[in-house]
């Protein structure tokens, strides 16, 4: 038997209905905040991620699905969404528009990492990007909408972690201090961190290995090296959070795992996920457009894993209404089936979620199936009913049954029977 590839999975009904509800809620919240949807290709030039994400990141160095096409071009299944959004922004010359550009995306991403709770090799992300503004109020507004979204889908017990990693002017001083400190404790770090000590010291702070955490905690804090513009930006950002009554905790080691971040970084974590508890991550990436060969463009955004959100969401505890028919049409005998199918067509055209049973069944068997499908009502269509024009409509929750004409069915359902 051929099975799904390791790290991938099928999303079956009724779980797929939960996904639809969560995605619909995301679209509603993002829309009221002025975001529009963008859909980028599932694969891109490998160079886009090597340059945009960073060659020394775990994503590029270890996790990308990369292949050569028939023209010997190196292509990569997208491991994240921000680089693709900025590429589209530059390619279509949207920087010429004076207003800020607010977009969101929903779709699959691909990373070859060890599958774990809520994390797969093909996973799904919801992300949003704001391009064209460096105002710290934008950052607070994005976090505000995130909290509204998480609240609406029932994700609780979260914590907002924030930090500033400075910019190209103040970060070099910190990096020099960090390199000195790392040289003294390098032998106590994991193999990956030892490599990063030389290639990208800032990435050491992003290590998630428990054995490295006590050592990393004693390293210098980047907040002590922020220049005046970066300090002011961070303080204003925190002020906007406070005025919105958004609680937060400053974590000086929070640098995120991608090279394009600058100034503000943040994560939203959940105790319900265990050790790998990041639910949402994001930050500012004012230099990414230039790295990709475009005009200087300010950017801020986030990405969250839908698998993890749905795992924690109370939506998963609710019955999947999208999979439960309002009406189960039960034809009794072959002569009744043709007329019953035409009746079902008309009910659907009027917006009724209708399940049509085509198997030859007894009435008892049909009611048993309707109960299994959690149908709200059953309409019985037999030869006698066709002659009289009166059809038994049975309400499943209490067993009450009435006779109705074909034209009365929809109004009866809409008015609660």
- pLDDT computed for residue 204 by the predictor: 83
Indicate if 305 and 374 belong to the same structural domain. Answer: no
Q: Residues 311, 328: one domain?
A: no
Same domain, 336 and 298: no
Residue 165 has pLDDT above 60, yes or no: yes
Closest CA to 292 of 106, 109, 88, 97: 88
Q: Is residue 194 one of the residues assigned to a domain?
A: no
Could you tell me if 150 and 268 are in contact, meaning their C-beta atoms sit under 8 angstroms apart?
A: yes
Give the closest residue to 138 by CA, choosing from 39, 258, 256, 282.
Answer: 282
How confident is the model over 286-313, as a mean pLDDT?
92
Three-state DSSP class for residue 410: helix
Query: Where is average pLDDT lowest: 264-278, 331-345, 383-397?
Result: 264-278
pLDDT at position 56 = 63
Helix segments in 93-132, DSSP class H? none
The stretch 42-66 carries a mean pLDDT of 85
What is residue 59's predicted lDDT score, i.e. its pLDDT?
80
Instruction: Give the model's confidence band at 257: pLDDT under 50 very low, under 70 low, under 90 confident, else very high.
Output: low
Tell me, what's the pLDDT at 145?
96
Higher pLDDT, 133 or 258: 133
Contact 165, 205 (CB under 8 A): no
pLDDT reading at 31 higher than 50: yes
- Contact indicator for 417, 408 with CB cutoff of 8 Å: no
Q: Which residue has the higher pLDDT, 193 or 403?
A: 403
Q: How far is CA 35 from CA 2, 87, 298, in A?
A: 41, 18, 17
- pLDDT tops 90 at residue 322: no
The helix/strand/coil state of 2 is coil
Closest residue by Cα to residue 285 from 77, 132, 119: 132
Whether 162 has a pLDDT exceeding 90, the answer reads yes
Q: Is residue 179 part of a domain?
A: no
Question: What percentage of the chain exceeds 70 in pLDDT?
Answer: 94
Of 317, 334, 369, the one marking the end of a domain is 317
Q: Determine the pLDDT at residue 333.
A: 87
pLDDT for the residue 395: 95
Last residue of a domain, one of 284, 317, 350: 317
Average pLDDT over residues 159-167: 94
Cα(203)–Cα(57) distance, integer angstroms: 8
pLDDT of residue 405: 96
**The pLDDT value given to residue 320:** 43
Here the tokens at position 244 are 């919105």
| pLDDT of 65 over the 70 cut | yes
Structural domain that includes position 375: 324-414
Say if residue 354 is in the same domain as residue 289. no
H-type alpha helices, 318-408: 334-349, 363-372, 383-388
Same domain for 269 and 164, yes or no, is: yes
Q: Pick 163 or 183 by higher pLDDT.
A: 163
Same domain membership, residue 117 and residue 30: yes
> So what's the pLDDT on residue 275?
59
Pair 238, 275 in one domain? yes
Judge whether 22 and 137 are in contact, CB under 8 Å: no
The verdict on 235 and 378 lying in the same domain is no
Q: Using the predicted structure, report yes or no on whether residue 323 has a pLDDT greater than 80.
A: no
Residue with tokens 């790290």: 7
Q: Residue 261: its pLDDT value, please?
A: 82
At residue 319, the pLDDT reads 44
Same-domain pairing of 301 and 333: no
CATH number where 109 lies? 3.30.930.10
Residues 206-244 pLDDT 10s = 777 777 888 788 888 889 999 999 999 999 999 999 999
State the Cα–Cα distance between residues 154 and 406, nearest whole angstrom: 41
Is residue 60 a part of any domain in this protein?
Answer: yes
Q: Rounded to whole angstroms, how far apart are CA atoms 38 and 205?
A: 32
Secondary structure class of 367 (helix, strand, coil) = helix
Total number of domains constituting the chain? 2
Taking all residues of the chain, what is their mean pLDDT, rounded to a whole number? Answer: 89
Given 298, 317, 336, which residue is the final one in a domain? 317
Cβ atoms of 162 and 248 closer than 8 Å: yes
Query: Mean pLDDT over residues 324-350, rounded?
Result: 92
Average pLDDT over residues 85-94: 95
* N-to-C CA span, the chain: 47
Instruction: State which H helix or E strand residue 375 sits in.
Output: none
* CATH number of the domain that residue 343 is part of: 3.40.50.800
Do 65 and 26 share a structural domain?
Answer: yes
Which residue bears the tokens 């980028």?
40
Torsion angle (degrees, nearest 10) of CA 341, 345, 351, 356: 20
DSSP 60: I
Taking CA atoms, 142 is separated from 145, 193, 248, in Å, by 5, 32, 14
| Beta-carbon contacts of residue 108 (< 8 Å; ≥ 6 apart) | 42, 122, 123, 124, 125
Q: Are residues 256 and 273 in the same domain?
A: yes
Once rounded to an integer, what is the mean pLDDT over residues 189-205?
A: 80
Least confident of 103-117, 191-205, 281-295: 191-205
Distance of CA 291 to the CA centre of its chain: 26
Predicted pLDDT of residue 274:
62
């Amino acid at each position: 038997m051929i099975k799904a590839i390791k790290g991938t999975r099928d999303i079956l009904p009724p779980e797929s209905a939960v996904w639809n509800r969560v995605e619909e809620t995301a679209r509603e919240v993002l829309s009221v905040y002025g975001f529009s949807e963008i859909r980028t290709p599932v694969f891109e030039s490998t160079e886009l991620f090597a340059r945009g994400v960073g060659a020394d990141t775990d994503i590029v160095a270890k996790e990308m699905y990369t292949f050569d096409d028939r023209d010997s071009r190196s292509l990569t299944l997208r491991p994240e969404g921000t680089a693709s959004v900025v590429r589209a922004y530059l390619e279509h010359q949207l920087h010429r528009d004076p207003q800020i550009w607010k977009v969101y995306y929903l779709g699959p991403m691909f990373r070859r990492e060890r599958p774990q709770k809520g994390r797969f090799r093909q996973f799904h992300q919801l992300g949003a990007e704001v391009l064209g503004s460096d105002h710290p109020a934008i950052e607070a507004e994005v976090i505000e909408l995130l909290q509204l979204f998480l609240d609406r889908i029932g994700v609780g017990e979260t914590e907002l972690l924030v930090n500033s990693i400075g910019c190209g002017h103040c970060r070099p001083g910190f990096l020099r201090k960090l390199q000195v400190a790392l040289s003294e404790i390098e032998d106590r770090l994991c193999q990956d961190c030892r490599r990063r000590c030389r290639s990208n010291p800032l990435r050491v702070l992003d290590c998630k290995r428990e054995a490295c955490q006590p050592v990393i905690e004693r390293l210098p804090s980047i907040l002590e090296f922020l220049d005046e513009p970066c300090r002011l930006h961070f303080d204003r950002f925190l002020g906007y959070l406070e005025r919105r009554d958004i609680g937060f905790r400053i974590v000086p080691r929070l640098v995120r795992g991608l090279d394009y971040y600058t100034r503000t970084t943040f994560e939203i974590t959940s105790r319900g996920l265990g050790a790998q508890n990041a639910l949402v991550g994001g930050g500012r990436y004012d230099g990414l457009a230039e790295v990709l060969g475009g005009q200087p463009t300010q950017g801020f955004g986030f990405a969250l894993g839908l698998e993890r959100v749905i795992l924690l969401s109370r939506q998963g505890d609710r019955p999947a209404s999208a999979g439960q028919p309002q009406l189960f049409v039960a034809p009794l005998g072959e002569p009744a089936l043709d007329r019953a199918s035409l009746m079902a067509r008309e009910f659907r055209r009027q917006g009724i979620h209708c399940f049509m049973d085509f198997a030859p069944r007894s009435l008892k068997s049909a009611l048993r199936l309707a109960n299994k499908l959690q149908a709200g009502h059953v309409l019985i269509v037999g030869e006698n009913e066709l002659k009289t024009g009166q059809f038994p409509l049975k309400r499943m929750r209490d067993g009450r049954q009435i006779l109705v004409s074909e034209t009365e069915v929809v109004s009866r359902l809409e008015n609660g029977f």
